[in-house]
Structure 1
Amino acid sequence: MWSAKHRRKSQDGWRKYEYDIKQKHNLFNLDSLYRKISNKPFIKEKKQELEILMMYFWLHEIEGDEENYWEEYLSKALSF
């Protein structure tokens, strides 16, 4: 489940809401997911990498990157 703060009204006629990927906190409800899987050795201390992977998949396989947001997101994510 995504936080209501991460929803925004859709500009499309067929969807009422869309996911706001430009939120800065808890993208894709990653905090909850990470708590469940953080004990796995291959994921331990890799929360940022998991978020980057999920964002890539979201933009390139699910939603589409019409706004060319991937480059902007990646530069912000890697600057931390």
Structure 2
Amino acid sequence: MAAIAQSDGLVNPSDLAMELGFAAQSAIQQPLKDLTTAGLITRQDGMGRVYYRRNPHTIWDAAIELLGQALAVDVNPHAVQG
């Protein structure tokens, strides 16, 4: 979700899969379908490629906030090191 939230609002599944490090677009098909069903993105066909447009919703701000928190997390000093 964070990758879609950070985009310009229009994402291509193949480009998104590559950005996320997946070998195949099939790895993100179900999540895209779920986001479409939830009304968070809308599928748009055009110019020989499929795109998904991010629909306005407060969840996108929350996704960015959660990403920021995840990236700011410090390593636990009590973690077992081998």
Which protein shows a greater Rg?
Answer: 2
What TM-score do you get using the length of structure 1 for normalisation? 0.29
What TM-score do you get using the length of structure 2 for normalisation? 0.29
| Structure having the larger proportion of residues in strand | 2
